[in-house]
């Protein structure tokens, strides 16, 4: 099973893309399913998920049966993601873009979410305890999938046409922000956000590239690629006008979750959502996610 050893590549400053195609390069055109792990940058609301946090379950309800998973539907509304609209995987696959509910099996490219909003990498690191007492960390997401998701999905999906994505580490930075005051000086750098010390980011990137190479050597049935989200986002903030963005320092405003904010943002004193880089203080707008999806598709 591919995901047994994917834990070796969770510490990503990139988006990590893994596909079990032993004799071929990654082929997006041939991909029929996407299985996603991560945090709120990847998570979407599911009809059997925790409200605003997951597609399915939480740490108190990790187990689920066949009917629960297969009847689960992607929710598409204003608050179903942390971006105020579709996220990068919905744009990439085209699954879940329609208003209302969508069962992943109805999509031309099925999209199965096992990410959890607020996720850190692991509960083992003292600097990053659970974001909430119901949070499912990245490590536990994969354990959960191995126990309950994979036995169901393997009965009808072709793993040789399946892409696995991991985008994580936003919350590890936020949750470890005060660790130095507690006597701990460990800092983990995340590459998907612009960092002032480019040398340190480059060190991390090189180390991670080596780790992914080791992953591929140990998993002969899988191909892994790294998408440098940090470089893309830095480019967008350097030249925002090229992407139709007018505001890269503010965000959609305190009214981001108000009714009709997308239809009439001016009434709340806001620019249109697509003209912001940030949706709120921690999340990118759906517009930025669409650009990310386009770049990932070209990359694949």
Q: Which domain holds residue 19?
A: 2-229
Question: Are the C-beta atoms of residues 106 and 76 closer than 8 Å to each other?
Answer: no
> Which is nearest to 109 in space by CA: 97, 96, 95?
95
130 located within any domain: yes
153 located within any domain: yes
264 located within any domain: no
Alpha-carbon dihedral angle through residues 17, 20, 26, 30, given to the nearest 10 degrees: -110
Determine if the pTM surpasses 0.75.
yes
Backbone phi and psi for residue 86, each to the nearest 5 degrees, phi listed first: -60, 150
Give the C-alpha separation, 232 to 237, whole Å. 9
Backbone phi and psi for residue 110, each to the nearest 5 degrees, phi listed first: -70, 140
Average pLDDT over all residues of the chain:
80
Residue 11: band (very low, low, confident or very high) from pLDDT cuts 50, 70, 90: very low
Backbone phi and psi for residue 250, each to the nearest 5 degrees, phi listed first: -90, -170
222 located within any domain: yes
pLDDT > 70 in the chain, percent: 76
278 located within any domain: no
282 located within any domain: no
Residue with the larger pLDDT of the pair 200 and 75: 75
184 located within any domain: yes
Q: What is the count of structural domains for the chain?
A: 1
42 located within any domain: yes
* β 100-102/223-227 pair status: unpaired
Q: How long, in residues, is the chain?
A: 300
């Amino acid at each position: 099973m591919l995901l047994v050893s994917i834990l070796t590549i969770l510490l990503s400053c990139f988006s990590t893309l893994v596909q079990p195609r032993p004799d071929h390069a990654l082929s997006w055109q041939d991909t029929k399913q996407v299985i996603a792990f991560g945090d709120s940058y990847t998570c979407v609301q599911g009809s059997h998920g925790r409200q605003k946090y997951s597609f399915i379950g939480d740490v108190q309800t990790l187990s689920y049966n066949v009917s629960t998973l297969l009847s689960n539907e992607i929710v598409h509304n204003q608050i179903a993601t942390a971006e105020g609209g579709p996220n990068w995987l919905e744009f990439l696959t085209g699954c879940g873009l329609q208003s209302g509910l969508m069962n992943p099996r109805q999509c031309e490219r099925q999209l199965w979410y096992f990410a959890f909003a607020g996720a850190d990498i692991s509960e083992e690191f003292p600097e990053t305890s659970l974001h909430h007492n119901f949070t499912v960390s990245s490590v536990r997401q994969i354990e959960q999938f191995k126990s309950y998701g994979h036995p169901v999905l393997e009965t009808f999906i072709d793993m040789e046409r399946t892409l696995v994505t991991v985008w994580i580490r936003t919350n590890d930075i936020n949750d470890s922000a005060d660790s130095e005051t507690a006597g701990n000086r460990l800092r983990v750098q995340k590459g998907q956000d612009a960092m002032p010390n480019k040398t340190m980011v480059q060190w991390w990137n090189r180390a991670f590239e080596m780790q992914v190479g080791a992953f591929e050597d140990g998993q002969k049935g899988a191909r892994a690629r790294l998408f440098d989200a940090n470089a893309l986002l830095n480019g967008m903030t350097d030249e925002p006008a090229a992407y139709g963005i007018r505001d890269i320092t503010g965000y959609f405003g305190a009214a981001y979750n108000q009714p009709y904010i997308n239809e009439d943002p001016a009434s709340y004193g806001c620019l249109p959502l697509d003209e912001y880089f940030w949706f709120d203080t921690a999340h990118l707008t759906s517009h930025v996610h669409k650009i990310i999806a386009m770049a990932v598709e070209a990359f694949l």
